[in-house]
Amino acid sequence: MSATQNKASRAHPVEVVVAAISAMLLVALIVYLTYRGFQGEGGIAELTATVERVDQRPAGYIAQIRVDNAGEKTAATVTIEGTAGGQTGQIEFDYVPAGSTRHGSMHFREDPVNLELNIMGYSEP
């Protein structure tokens, strides 16, 4: 084997460092996913609903609703009821994953002053 062929077959030091870092990241990812898989999804969904704003439209009022899930579990079919001055509105969110926020709106004929939101329930997906 000539000196030129031997030199060409060796990896550049940068390639070795990149390969080592990639291998460590891959091992860390496998360990993390295995840990999460055995840990399972524990806890509960911790839902809160808030009114972000109310907009007047020609056909009535639109209340912009925000739902936060600070819990460790996904909530499905989240039903929220809003009441204000004898009016009621309802909205349903298909999924609110753990640690996420979802937005929606309710329609009212009259201005929903002091709109109160109640989370009526949810199911586990």
Q: List, for residues 70-93, the tens digit of each pLDDT value.
A: 998 999 999 999 999 899 999 999
Query: CA-to-CA distance for 38 and 107, rounded, in angstroms?
Result: 44
The predicted structure's pLDDT at residue 124: 86
Query: CA-to-CA distance for 63 and 84, rounded, in angstroms?
Result: 11
Which residues are CB-neighbours of 44 under 8 A, at least 6 positions away?
Answer: 71, 72, 73
Query: CA-to-CA distance for 68 and 84, rounded, in angstroms?
Result: 21
Which is it for strands 47-57 and 87-96: parallel, antiparallel or unpaired? unpaired
Tens place of pLDDT per residue across the chain (125 aa): 555 555 667 888 899 999 999 999 999 999 988 887 776 556 889 999 999 999 999 999 999 999 999 998 999 999 999 999 899 999 999 999 999 999 999 999 999 999 999 999 999 88
Q: Token pair for residue 48?
A: 């809160």
